[in-house]
Structure formats: C-alpha cells, structure tokens
Amino acid sequence: MMADQGEGLPDADADGGPVRHIPVLLPEVLASLDLAPGKIVLDGTFGAGGYTSAILAAGADVIALDRDPAAIQAGQSLVEASKGHLTLIHSRFSDLARYAPEGGLDGVVLDIGVSSMQIDEAERGFSFQRRGPLDMRMSSDGVSAADVVNRAKVSDLTRIFGFLGEEPQSGRIARAIEKRRLEEPFVTTRDLAGLIEIVTPRKAKDKIHPATRVFQALRIFVNDELGELARALFAAERVLKPGGRLTVVTFHSLEDRIVKKFFQDRSGKASGSRHMPLVHERAATFAPVGKSMVAASEDEASRNPRARSAKMRVGARTDAPPQADDLSIFDLPNLASLGKIGG
C-alpha cells in the first residue's frame, strides 16, 4: 500500500531531505472549488498559505485554520495584506464547523500532509535526518513521539508501526525499542533512527530509509491524523451550503481510503449485500465532481517531489440534511490511547 517512495514523508525526498513547500495540484484545486468573488472558503490546513493565497487572488474570502502556532504566526503578513478578506485561526481542522459563518460555506479544502516547514525545523523532531528532540507534535502540546516510544507496550508499538506505517518489521523494531529503553530512554530523532538502522539495515535495492515508515507511523499517531481527517469530513458536511465543494488532497493510502469511503458512504447508494436483500436508500449528501480521483501529472511530479503520491477527491454538497457522524464507516484501527500513554 506504500504507493510512492516519498509517501511516508510527503514533504521530503527518500532520505528525508528538505523540499521547498509548493502547493500540490493547485490549478486542479482552484478549479474544483468553483471560486468567485464573494464566496467564502475554509482552508483547514493553512500551512505556508499556498492554497489560501491563490483562493484570495481569485476573489473569494478565506477562513484558514492551522493547529501549528508557528504557521499562524508566519501567516500574519498575509492576513494584513488581505485587507479583511482572510481570517486566520489557530485550531484543528476537525473543529472547522465552529468557525463557519451562519449562512454556511461555499467551499472547504484540506491538504492532508505534514508541512515542509515542520520537517525542516530540527527542533520539531519530524525528520530522522536532523538531530532534534523526538517530538513530532504539530500543535506543540500533548503526547510526544518520545512519550510513545518510551512508554507504549510492545504490542501497541507493533500495531502502530504495522498499521500506520505499514512497516513489515514492526514487531522486530518494537522489541528492539523495548530492550534499548530499559537501558536508556529515547530522547532524540537520531536515537530512534540509529536503532532502526541497526535492526533493519538498508539494502541496496531499498528506495527509502529504514526509519521512514516508523517515523511516519509515529507522526500520524501522535497527531491523531486519521481521526482528525474523519471528523473534519463530517464537520464539512454540516457547514457546506448546497452546491458547496469539499476538496481533499491526500498523500498516503490510509488517508485517501478514508476520503474515498466518506464520499462512497455519502453518495446515497443503497447499502446491503446479496445475503441481505433488504437495503436502505439514503439521500445523497455529496455528488461527485469530475473524476473520482485526480493525481498529479508526470510534469508536476517531476518538478515537485511532494506531488508524487498526491490524490485529490472532490464532492459537491447536495441539499439533503447531514447524516450522523459514524466513525465505523472508516474501519479505523483500535490503537493505544494517547491519553494513557501520556500518563
């Protein structure tokens, strides 16, 4: 399921090196939102402001969110330049319904990927190529990657690495972590990456660094990225106007699967099976827009490595009432509790 060598760290090359942040699928995203002056779009993942800047240039107003306080601070110059057309808020995008205007939104766009700004800062602890604290928290609070590595049970680490990182040696790495932390806790990114390099040495045919999948898994787990995405999709359904567009760009197969399942579930198609003749017709809350999935062109992927694994899915909100928030449609794994790990 690892579709691309850069998928584990979408803003980095195969060895975790820095890649300048360039908005992925920008023309396609702008077209999907059906922008016009006076429309209001919520950018749930502000990051470096790439999508927001382009949406503003098209004449629409933007409400932008980001859970990273550094991104909010860096975006203040754009807020000033927008002359009242941009509202920038420090928040998780799963809470986006709180910031929608009373009349609803004309569009919601989500770029589900870690920012290159975060990877490039050693003190954030996202990259195994830069020695820094083993942190990985996008919001700079809560349980860190070091907390998980030093406190989680071996069985939990195995499931985290195996499901969220699709790491085939998850059990072996988890047992090695347990043995090492009894002697000395993990503190830095290089502490963990160094151990993984010993346990699963890189082979000549390997396209990615041995630590890529484990670091990816820890980042997704620490930030509850899959749960955040699922809750954000439900929130967008509640606040989009009829005809409003929901555009989601993902960089990992697990994320794309969640978006795909959401749009399938909200399509209004009958549910059931050949073993259960009774089916339940539901009014569609989203109608497909364009192709079911849009990937980056070869030209864009060659110019921007981050785009190699990008997939965009778009739906237009119907006038049907929103459906219940049912996380079971996503088949999310039952992993360890962040709260219990944090003590």
How far apart are the C-alpha atoms of 220 and 216, rounded to whole Å?
Answer: 6
Rounded to a whole number, what is the distance in angstroms from the first to the last CA of the chain? 33
Q: How many Å is the maximal CA-CA distance in the chain?
A: 61
The answer to whether 66 is a known ligand-binding residue is yes
The DSSP bridge partners found for residue 86 are 62
What is the token pair recorded at 182? 């009894």
3-state class (DSSP) for residue 242: strand
How many Å apart are CA 38 and CA 61, to the nearest integer?
7
Nearest to 62 by CA among 86, 33, 29: 86
Amino acid occupying residue 206: D
CA angle 123, 94, 260 (to 5 degrees): 105
Tell me: is residue 99 an annotated ligand-binding position.
no
Q: Are 65 and 96 in contact (CB under 8 A)?
A: yes
118 is in an annotated binding site: yes
Residue 93 annotated as part of some ligand binding site: yes
Q: Which residues make beta-bridge pairs with 64?
A: 43, 88
CB 322, CB 238: distance < 8 Å: yes
Q: What backbone torsions phi and psi does residue 295 show, to the nearest 5 degrees?
A: -110, 165
Single-letter amino acid, residue 196: I
Q: What are phi and psi of 317, to 5 degrees?
A: -70, 135
Q: Which helix (H) or strand (E) holds 264?
A: helix 253-265
Burial 202-234 (b: 16+ CB within 10 A, else e): eeeeeebbbbbbbbbbbbbbbbbbbbbbbbbbb
State how far the Cα of 30 lies from the Cα of 171, in Å rounded to an integer: 43
Distance CA 244, CA 260 (A): 18
Return binding residues: 49-51, 66, 93, 111, 118
Q: Which residues fall in the annotated binding site for S-adenosyl-L-methionine? A: 49-51, 66, 93, 111, 118
